[in-house]
Structure 1
Amino acid sequence: MKRSSFIGVICLFLVLMVVLSCNQKPKEQPKTSIDNAQWWKEAIVYQIYPRSFKDSDGDGVGDLKGIVEKLDYIKSLGVTAVWLNPIYTSPNADNGYDVSDYRDIMEEFGSMADFDSLLAGMHQRDIKLVMDIVVNHSSDQHEWFKQSRSSRDNPYRDYYHWWPAEKGKPPYRYSLFDAKGDAWQYDSLTNAYYLHYFAKQQPDLNWSNPKVRQEVYDIMKFWADKGVDGFRLDAFQFAAKDTTYPKFPDGFEKDFIQYYAMQDGLHDYLKEMNEEVFSKYDVMSVAEGAGRNFEDAHKLVDQDRNELNLAYAFEGVDIPKYEGYDLATMKEVFTKWDQEFAEDGWLSIFLANHDQARMVSRWGNDSEAFRSASTKLLNTFILSMRGTPYCYYGDELGMTNIDFDSISQYQDIAAINGYQKALSEGEDMDLFMEKLNFGSRDNGRTPMQWDGSTNAGFTSGTPWLPVNPNFAEINVQVEDSDSNSVLNHFRAMTQLRKQNPILVYGDYKLIMPEHPTVYAYTRTMDDKKLLVLLNFSKESSTVSLDKNWAASPILINNYNDLDIIDNSLKLKPFQAVILNIN
């Protein structure tokens, strides 16, 4: 072929390709309606109670090196952030929530070098670290308090709340952890009372003192400069107090939140904290509690407020009681919170934490027959709702409440002092112990169940809190190799959430609100719609669907099959299904 002819053929070929490409429809790009996307909205948070996660040195207490050992496991869960309960130096009156040095590590947990190794290991695995900051109160062993109680004219005196005894007994304040329920503790050294909303070893800091506030901001900057990715402010909704200490109405303790939470000055403190700390770092910020009402919660987290990122409301997690709970209440509470924050602000979604008993024992059915299915259902709920999900260690396995026989087995100061208070007030102690066995915080603090060896692989020594006897059946080793396990269902749900922004940002709508046993809702974004069906019952439940929905692709199912009869689904006990109903 002549060179000129060859060039002509090439030119003709190129012309044809251009014509064909012009006639083809352009490839449609995926639509998105994600406004104000943030990493902390998309995060899947895994809460670790460090005393109970993994002990590396055989002293019976979990530690930082133990967490480092298990970082690959944490990564395998599909979570993207870890909330670590307090690891600071502490006398441990309240398991670390009484801090005596905010810039050092509790000896039981390891060293600052261990912390640096943990943080680096998390970041290498693209896992962020959220620290617990306990600054409503400190330990009575903190140097600030030692100085404060040493004399009335000490420079640290106003770091805490004091009432001189010569003025008589101070107006009554209720303490959540005190054996007598009294939040004023007499101190003979200066003939005065100090205030403690929690245990007497946890004196409340005086946030009206600007020096206290600056101390706290400097502490937070210390950790942020190390590379910490977020802060959870413990009990902070109680930090602002009227320092004239007015008398409260008789019986106020029955609804103490109205008198303790979100008092004047709190928003000023948070705005100042935001300006000093949060605005200078790419950190997540969340405070324990969301105030007394929706207005309080919005003021905490609406974008234009420049205070916090996420609301952490208790109304949902407080639903289950010893007597049980009504599914209709759960639907109502979670739906109203979602709708209230559909346009502005952002929510935390959780069913358990270190202050609650085990999730499946409170919300589901922890019997051998239904534990697995009901735990999968609960994890499906957490990971399919709008908001940032928080998953508590061990709930990815279906760990259950432990059965204690006597008060001597409890370690929690709230349980021990609560028992003494009930005893002194003449309560029915058998009933008290039954309720404590159901709801005690120690239920949620038993050691992580890693395998079937002695002490569930948690420690080679004597664990600080007993291991649940069911560890041989419920542990990581057993569940890791079982494709139908609670653990592997949890992993499937985290992957589904990460692959589908609709589960993070999509609209939520409750459907079938009157159904007595099924919690059903849709998640919608642009032209995509998902249907979540959760049967909160140990009996089968039937739901009628739109004729086009019954044949929809199944994205998640905690059973191996789904019974479809015409346009109805017969859900098995505690069956959880997510359908793509586009």
Structure 2
Amino acid sequence: MNKAWWKEAVVYQIYPRSFNDSNGDGIGDLQGIISRLDYLENLGVDVIWLSPVYASPNEDNGYDISDYYAIMSDFGTMKDFDELLQKAHEHHLKIVMDLVANHTSDEHQWFIDSRKSKDNPYHDYYIWRDQPNNWGSVFGGSAWQYDENLNQYYLHNFAIKQPDLNWENKAVRDDLYKMMRYWCDKGIDGFRMDVISMISKDQRYPDAPVPEGAIYGDPTPYTVDGPRIHEFLQEMNREVLSKYDLFTVGETPGLSVERALKYVQEDRHELEMVFTFDHVSLDGGDYGKWSQKRTDLVELKKAIMKWVKGCENGGWNSIYLDNHDQPRAVSRFGDDGEYREMSAKCLALTLHLMRGTPYVYQGEELGMTNYHFTSLEECRDIEEINAYKDLVTDRHIYSDQEMLENISSKGRDNARTPMQWDDSQNAGFTTGTPWINVNPNYKTINAAAQVNDPNSIYNFYKQLIALRHAHDIIVYGEMDLLYEDAHDLFAYTRSYNDEKITVLANWSDHEVTYDLTPEGDLLITNDEDVTPHTLKPYQAVAYYKK
């Protein structure tokens, strides 16, 4: 296996709108990030992944880009970005940009020109049809939107204001590669590629099977991992990626391990690693993610190990429990009440000693929790708002209260409440009115209370990150599951040359016993009161032997 800096790195994701506001307008910005670089360097992370900061009307929180060459005015200016890039590098932090290349905003000049006439040179930059098929959008409703001027329909796999680009058109690809080179020449260190597995579609546009109880068909078989996807990615690699020392991670929903490996095998020259979703898709119900179902640990372990083992020969995986599209991990997988600190550390120890590149989502290192939404007016996410309309207003599947409970446990806005910096007003995030409510528990859960506390969640993350940097076994060692059928114990070994690590983590609120006697010395634990063969609620231990 080839060693690489991005395999050894720990990535910290910043959602700029919610990270830190420098000018009091209630919206996080680039200068706010710059002012917190010391905090991130102290934590020990290597890479900052910035969710989109490009110009955008913000229909989908920046994933609807109107100008790839400009910064969203809410966040600052290109001068601010250049300063962030320079100062991040001075703090030994790399910057990875979010690349949204499957779609643009309908306010992008390409799309404005595209809908002027059928013979406009930009018309073919997007996917237009005289008649729609039955495909449904990820965000609800039809995936096709009628345009009266052209008497045609355009494809939008996401929001109506997010028309899909036509990657079959080489001019589109050339323009996107030109844009990517612009950012690489500035000195950025890589790209996280949004829904990159969707850039190639089945151009026949057949009708899709309609799931039971649904109105529209599921287009996934025709919009994910399409017929030309690897041709496009290899061309992107030749034209852009191979010319720089970049970190690339593709968001690849809907792929099996076997199909995903084609994206990341080193000899195929496409991407470095992918984001997988099996492990964060286990707690859905009859209506997608909108349920109160908890993840079964046995199923979670199977999902994670399937990818770990699948990527052992020539591939690489991203490991995460939190990001901007997921609820808070400690609320979802742990206990955000009595055992919040213990369970946050337990989840962290389990994840950060695994094989793959770990991701920390802002506030995860503090044990930030889900927000309790009491009305739809508190929600900002288009996915939540559309789901409420579908499941409450239109179909009467859930009551108002039931749906708000579902949003409070599964909604994306849980990840987007402001970063909790201290116990001052608005958690130190802004001096103005925050764009989305601050979680009221900021008085006790905040960075200021943790940075100098050696027993805090923050400093536990700092320990774990330092261990990964110090031990090749944590990065490159093989991983094998123990007690795979245990519903409360997540245990595994790591092996590398003559070294071995044994991890035992109790993912429950009751005591757990085990019969294994781990080899070696205690490497790290979230509770120093260690009893052989017994783990207290949410206690986790790791032993190291050389």
TM-score (norm 1): 0.90
Question: Given that residues 54 and 459 in structure 1 are in contact (C-alpha distance below 8 angstroms), is that contact kept between their aligned partners in structure 2?
Answer: yes
Match for 1:363 among 300, 325, 333? 333
Q: Separation in 2 of the partners of 1:255 and 1:376?
A: 38
Q: Separation in 2 of the partners of 1:272 and 1:115?
A: 28
- The offset of 1:254, in angstroms, is 7.3
Match for 1:293 among 221, 233, 256? 256
What is the DSSP-based 3-state SS (H/G/I as helix, E as strand, rest coil) of the residue aligned with 1:376?
helix
- The offset of 1:143, in angstroms, is 0.2
- The offset of 1:316, in angstroms, is 1.3
Q: Separation in 1 of the partners of 2:269 and 2:545?
A: 38
- The offset of 1:91, in angstroms, is 0.3
Residue 39 of structure 2 aligns with which residue?
Answer: 73
Residue 28 of structure 1 aligns with which residue?
Answer: none
Matched, 1:174 2:136: yes
Residue 287 of structure 2 aligns with which residue?
Answer: none
- The offset of 1:511, in angstroms, is 1.4
What is the DSSP-based 3-state SS (H/G/I as helix, E as strand, rest coil) of the residue aligned with 1:467?
coil
Q: Separation in 2 of the partners of 1:185 and 1:425?
A: 22
Q: Separation in 1 of the partners of 2:143 and 2:219?
A: 12
Q: Separation in 2 of the partners of 1:572 and 1:211?
A: 60
Q: Separation in 2 of the partners of 1:471 and 1:71?
A: 21
Q: Separation in 1 of the partners of 2:363 and 2:219?
A: 32
Residue 464 of structure 1 aligns with which residue?
Answer: 435
What is the DSSP-based 3-state SS (H/G/I as helix, E as strand, rest coil) of the residue aligned with 2:479?
strand
Question: Given that residues 252 and 274 in structure 2 are in contact (C-alpha distance below 8 angstroms), is that contact kept between their aligned partners in structure 1?
Answer: yes
Matched, 1:382 2:346: no
Match for 1:49 among 15, 19, 23? 15
What is the DSSP-based 3-state SS (H/G/I as helix, E as strand, rest coil) of the residue aligned with 1:316?
helix
Q: CA offsets per residue over residues 73-101 of structure 1, 9 Å max, x none?
A: 01111110011000000000011000000
- 1:61-210 → structure 2 map (5 Å cutoff): 61-164=27-130, 169-178=131-140, 181-210=141-170
- The offset of 1:319, in angstroms, is 2.6
Match for 1:283 among 246, 249, 252? 246
What is the DSSP-based 3-state SS (H/G/I as helix, E as strand, rest coil) of the residue aligned with 2:449?
helix
- 1:508-527 → structure 2 map (5 Å cutoff): 508-527=479-498
Residue 173 of structure 2 aligns with which residue?
Answer: 213
What is the DSSP-based 3-state SS (H/G/I as helix, E as strand, rest coil) of the residue aligned with 1:580?
strand
Matched, 1:448 2:446: no
Q: CA offsets per residue over residues 459-482 of structure 1, 9 Å max, x none?
A: 000000110000011000111122
- The offset of 1:513, in angstroms, is 1.9
What is the DSSP-based 3-state SS (H/G/I as helix, E as strand, rest coil) of the residue aligned with 2:273?
coil
Q: Separation in 2 of the partners of 1:425 and 1:398?
A: 36
Residue 348 of structure 1 aligns with which residue?
Answer: 318
Match for 2:293 among 305, 323, 348? 323
Q: Separation in 2 of the partners of 1:426 and 1:542?
A: 45
Amino acid at match of 1:426: H
Amino acid at match of 1:95: N
Q: Separation in 2 of the partners of 1:296 and 1:377?
A: 32
Identity of aligned residues (%): 47
Matched, 1:265 2:195: no
Bigger radius of gyration: 1
Q: Separation in 1 of the partners of 2:180 and 2:161?
A: 23
Residue 577 of structure 1 aligns with which residue?
Answer: 541
Question: Given that residues 249 and 272 in structure 2 are in contact (C-alpha distance below 8 angstroms), is that contact kept between their aligned partners in structure 1?
Answer: yes
Residue 406 of structure 1 aligns with which residue?
Answer: 375
Residue 192 of structure 2 aligns with which residue?
Answer: 232
What is the DSSP-based 3-state SS (H/G/I as helix, E as strand, rest coil) of the residue aligned with 2:274?
coil
- 1:524-563 → structure 2 map (5 Å cutoff): 524-546=495-517, 549=519, 552-563=520-531
Matched, 1:247 2:207: yes
Q: Separation in 2 of the partners of 1:320 and 1:134?
A: 27
What is the DSSP-based 3-state SS (H/G/I as helix, E as strand, rest coil) of the residue aligned with 1:539?
coil
Amino acid at match of 2:266: Q
Matched, 1:38 2:4: yes
Question: Given that residues 290 and 296 in structure 1 are in contact (C-alpha distance below 8 angstroms), is that contact kept between their aligned partners in structure 2?
Answer: no
Q: Separation in 2 of the partners of 1:256 and 1:441?
A: 23
- 1:471-510 → structure 2 map (5 Å cutoff): 471-510=442-481
Question: Given that residues 140 and 202 in structure 1 are in contact (C-alpha distance below 8 angstroms), is that contact kept between their aligned partners in structure 2?
Answer: yes
What is the DSSP-based 3-state SS (H/G/I as helix, E as strand, rest coil) of the residue aligned with 1:396?
helix
Q: Separation in 1 of the partners of 2:155 and 2:111?
A: 12
Question: Given that residues 210 and 217 in structure 2 are in contact (C-alpha distance below 8 angstroms), is that contact kept between their aligned partners in structure 1?
Answer: no
What is the DSSP-based 3-state SS (H/G/I as helix, E as strand, rest coil) of the residue aligned with 1:378?
helix
Residue 277 of structure 2 aligns with which residue?
Answer: 314
Q: Separation in 2 of the partners of 1:505 and 1:259?
A: 36
Q: CA offsets per residue over residues 384-419 of structure 1, 9 Å max, x none?
A: 110111110000000000011111110001111111
Q: Separation in 2 of the partners of 1:378 and 1:526?
A: 27
Q: Separation in 2 of the partners of 1:119 and 1:161?
A: 35
- The offset of 1:109, in angstroms, is 0.3
Q: Separation in 1 of the partners of 2:101 and 2:129?
A: 21
